Amino acid sequence: MLRKGAVVVNGFSADGLAKVSEILEGYVERGEVAGAVALTYRHGELVQVDSVGWRDRAGGLPMRRDTLFRIASMTKPITAVAALTLVDEGLIGLHDPVDPWLPELADRVVMRDPDGSPEDVVPAERPITLEDLLTFRFGLGWGRSSLAPQLFALTADPIASAIGVANAERLGPDEWLRKLGELPLIAQPGALWRYHTASDVLGILLSRITGRPLETVLRERVMDPLGMIDTSFTVPDSKRDRLSVLYGPDLTELDRPATTAWSAEPLFPSAGAGLVSTADDYARFARMLPNHGELDGVRILSPHLVSALSQDRLTPDQHATPPFNPPLGQTIWADQGFGYGVKIQTTPGVPSAGTLSWPGGLGTDWHADPEKNLVTLLLVQSANIIVAAEWRSPLGDDYLTALYSALED
């Protein structure tokens, strides 16, 4: 019920929105984060933008709405949508084996026990399919298994340096996939959810099906049609001053604009974690999904594939199995599931059931809530503030709680 005399902005209480701003400013004032950009759309209209704190604390450079962030795993949903555009065009089917394009992953063997010996294997029961890659269930990835160290070492730069993978291997896409193909699967295709690696495989698949470099594929199929003018694997000199400093624990500096690892074209563009973007750019992508694959009259994806992307694909056993080692992510699937490159809220609350999202481990997050017709982004520049898809700080929960509390309808 609306309070008498209350000011309402597209269903939000103005006082409530002011509280959202106060919460973000409080985190900066207490020194818990250097800065943040938050942006919210409701019913397709911009409701509020907050730019608080510093994009460069030591340099005294304020955060701006157009600040560039390393969005890390928020790259994954963009990759998934690009892959689904190939399905729309009939170039590959969701349940088609990927062997014709990725022969390195054909004729797999599978470990009897994910935590056991890589020598104790049986033949794969079926080939790896596109859907296995989209749902992170093709049989390899970060998380619990005896192959975890080898898989983590295959993390591509510059994200590998940013998250501290000391023994990361520097490989081009073909050599990377050849090395991955030398490993047995830790589970039968479709049987086990494991993180990250599937998205990088998807990136190679996109390039091989189209015969185009990955960034060209993403740009032509997703980013350019949506008007995402600042999203790329590299930051050109002309935009370097807009890039935020990347901070680690205690606001130690991990990557600075002047010497950023994102200035050079990567040897292996990571379809799982390599992009840089802005709040406005990513908001255009996030708004397209609950709008049935279309934004401002431009269709990216067919409605039936957006619906398929938005369905929880995890089995009851997969919901009950923590994918990461304790204490990380032990309850990740208690109230959410996973579709095609995105997680889906499965229980009512904050956010609403059916909300799509997936965060980036360098401090970025977004939610697209079809029930409330709401899209919101919260971008900070802090490595390890989000780990195993969970905020390690109350900031994420505080922001969403305040935002939803401001809703009057």
pLDDT tens by residue, 287-307: 999 999 999 999 999 999 999
| Residue 3 pLDDT > 50 | no
**pLDDT-based confidence at residue 1 (cuts at 50, 70, 90):** very low
Give the mean pLDDT of the chain: 96
Distance CA 259, CA 255 (A): 7
Concatenating the DSSP letter of every residue in 226-280 gives HT-TT-BSS--GGGGGGBPPEE-GGG-EEE-GGG-GGGS--SS--TTT--EE-HH
Q: According to CATH, where is 3.40.710.10 located in the chain?
A: 8-73+230-405, 80-210
* CATH T-level topology, domain 80-210: Beta-lactamase (3.40.710)
Length of the chain in terms of residues written: 409
Element (H, E) at 55: strand 45-56
Q: What is the rounded average pLDDT of the residues 371-382?
A: 98
Which has the closest alpha carbon to 218: 101, 90, 74?
A: 74
| Residue 321 pLDDT > 90 | yes
Distance CA 217, CA 210 (A): 8
The pLDDT, as a whole number, for residue 9 is: 84
Which has the closest alpha carbon to 285: 358, 384, 209?
A: 358
| Residue 13 pLDDT > 60 | yes
Q: Which CATH class is domain 8-73+230-405?
A: alpha beta
Name the DSSP letter for residue 156: P
**pLDDT-based confidence at residue 249 (cuts at 50, 70, 90):** confident
Concatenating the DSSP letter of every residue in 357-375 gives E--BTTTEEEEEETTTTEE
| Residue 5 pLDDT > 60 | no
| Sign of the torsion angle spanned by Cα atoms 304, 81, 242, 24 | positive
**pLDDT-based confidence at residue 394 (cuts at 50, 70, 90):** very high
Q: What is the pTM of this model?
A: 0.97
pLDDT tens by residue, 18-51: 999 999 999 999 999 999 999 999 999 999 999 9
Element (H, E) at 49: strand 45-56
Q: What is the CA radius of gyration of the chain?
A: 21
The pLDDT, as a whole number, for residue 4 is: 42
